[in-house]
Amino acid sequence: MPTERYFQYPEEKRLPYIERSILTKFPEEKRKAVTGRVVQIVENYEGHDINALSVLTYAAEKGRFDEFALKLENFYQQDLQFKDPAQREIIRDYKAEEFFQACYRDLLFEPRSQTQ
Protein backbone atom coordinates (compact mmCIF):
# COMPACT_ATOMS: atom_id res chain seq x y z
CA MET A 1 0.00 0.00 0.00
CA PRO A 2 1.45 3.38 -0.95
CA THR A 3 2.16 5.88 1.78
CA GLU A 4 -0.20 8.83 2.15
CA ARG A 5 2.78 11.14 2.04
CA TYR A 6 2.80 11.70 -1.72
CA PHE A 7 -0.92 11.77 -2.37
CA GLN A 8 -2.20 15.18 -3.35
CA TYR A 9 -5.73 14.37 -2.22
CA PRO A 10 -5.96 12.62 1.17
CA GLU A 11 -7.71 9.25 1.39
CA GLU A 12 -10.40 10.46 3.79
CA LYS A 13 -11.55 12.92 1.11
CA ARG A 14 -10.74 10.71 -1.86
CA LEU A 15 -13.22 7.91 -1.15
CA PRO A 16 -16.22 10.21 -0.60
CA TYR A 17 -15.23 12.11 -3.76
CA ILE A 18 -15.14 8.87 -5.77
CA GLU A 19 -18.59 7.90 -4.47
CA ARG A 20 -20.09 11.32 -5.14
CA SER A 21 -18.43 12.23 -8.44
CA ILE A 22 -17.80 8.95 -10.25
CA LEU A 23 -19.90 6.11 -8.86
CA THR A 24 -23.17 8.01 -9.19
CA LYS A 25 -22.73 7.78 -12.97
CA PHE A 26 -23.01 3.95 -12.88
CA PRO A 27 -25.79 1.49 -12.14
CA GLU A 28 -25.66 -0.01 -8.66
CA GLU A 29 -24.53 -3.45 -9.89
CA LYS A 30 -21.41 -1.99 -11.55
CA ARG A 31 -20.30 0.32 -8.72
CA LYS A 32 -18.27 -2.20 -6.74
CA ALA A 33 -16.10 -3.09 -9.76
CA VAL A 34 -15.71 0.58 -10.69
CA THR A 35 -14.73 1.47 -7.12
CA GLY A 36 -11.97 -1.13 -7.07
CA ARG A 37 -10.65 0.02 -10.43
CA VAL A 38 -10.67 3.72 -9.49
CA VAL A 39 -8.98 3.09 -6.14
CA GLN A 40 -6.26 1.01 -7.81
CA ILE A 41 -5.63 3.63 -10.50
CA VAL A 42 -5.44 6.44 -7.96
CA GLU A 43 -3.05 4.46 -5.75
CA ASN A 44 -0.87 3.82 -8.81
CA TYR A 45 -0.87 7.53 -9.63
CA GLU A 46 0.44 8.58 -6.24
CA GLY A 47 1.91 12.04 -6.80
CA HIS A 48 -0.42 12.57 -9.78
CA ASP A 49 -3.64 11.43 -8.11
CA ILE A 50 -5.60 14.66 -8.60
CA ASN A 51 -5.15 14.47 -12.37
CA ALA A 52 -6.06 10.78 -12.42
CA LEU A 53 -9.22 11.45 -10.39
CA SER A 54 -10.09 14.40 -12.58
CA VAL A 55 -9.72 12.44 -15.82
CA LEU A 56 -11.82 9.58 -14.44
CA THR A 57 -14.49 12.01 -13.26
CA TYR A 58 -14.84 13.73 -16.63
CA ALA A 59 -14.70 10.39 -18.44
CA ALA A 60 -17.51 9.00 -16.26
CA GLU A 61 -19.60 12.11 -16.94
CA LYS A 62 -19.14 11.62 -20.68
CA GLY A 63 -19.79 7.86 -20.64
CA ARG A 64 -16.14 7.09 -21.48
CA PHE A 65 -14.96 5.71 -18.16
CA ASP A 66 -13.67 2.34 -19.40
CA GLU A 67 -11.76 3.98 -22.26
CA PHE A 68 -9.94 6.44 -20.00
CA ALA A 69 -9.43 3.99 -17.14
CA LEU A 70 -7.62 1.79 -19.68
CA LYS A 71 -5.56 4.77 -20.91
CA LEU A 72 -4.52 5.54 -17.33
CA GLU A 73 -3.70 1.89 -16.62
CA ASN A 74 -1.60 1.63 -19.79
CA PHE A 75 0.26 4.91 -19.20
CA TYR A 76 1.08 3.82 -15.66
CA GLN A 77 2.45 0.47 -16.87
CA GLN A 78 4.48 2.02 -19.66
CA ASP A 79 5.74 5.23 -18.06
CA LEU A 80 5.15 5.61 -14.33
CA GLN A 81 5.33 2.15 -12.81
CA PHE A 82 9.01 2.36 -11.91
CA LYS A 83 9.15 6.06 -11.00
CA ASP A 84 9.29 6.70 -7.28
CA PRO A 85 6.29 8.78 -6.12
CA ALA A 86 8.73 11.10 -4.32
CA GLN A 87 10.45 11.76 -7.63
CA ARG A 88 7.11 12.37 -9.33
CA GLU A 89 6.57 15.18 -6.85
CA ILE A 90 10.05 16.71 -7.08
CA ILE A 91 10.90 16.40 -10.77
CA ARG A 92 8.52 17.92 -13.29
CA ASP A 93 7.33 15.03 -15.43
CA TYR A 94 6.64 16.50 -18.85
CA LYS A 95 5.53 13.19 -20.31
CA ALA A 96 2.88 12.81 -17.60
CA GLU A 97 1.78 16.42 -18.06
CA GLU A 98 1.43 15.89 -21.81
CA PHE A 99 -0.51 12.67 -21.19
CA PHE A 100 -2.99 14.39 -18.87
CA GLN A 101 -3.37 17.39 -21.19
CA ALA A 102 -4.14 15.00 -24.07
CA CYS A 103 -6.76 13.25 -21.92
CA TYR A 104 -8.39 16.58 -21.05
CA ARG A 105 -8.41 17.67 -24.69
CA ASP A 106 -9.87 14.32 -25.72
CA LEU A 107 -12.61 14.84 -23.16
CA LEU A 108 -13.17 18.36 -24.56
CA PHE A 109 -12.07 19.98 -21.33
CA GLU A 110 -9.28 22.52 -21.05
CA PRO A 111 -7.86 22.64 -17.51
CA ARG A 112 -6.52 25.89 -16.11
CA SER A 113 -2.85 26.49 -16.49
CA GLN A 114 -0.95 25.63 -13.32
CA THR A 115 0.55 29.12 -13.39
CA GLN A 116 -2.83 30.86 -13.13
pLDDT in tens, 38-92: 999 999 998 889 999 999 999 999 999 999 999 999 999 999 988 888 777 667 7
Which residue type is seen at 105? R
pTM for the full model? 0.85
Residues written for the chain: 116
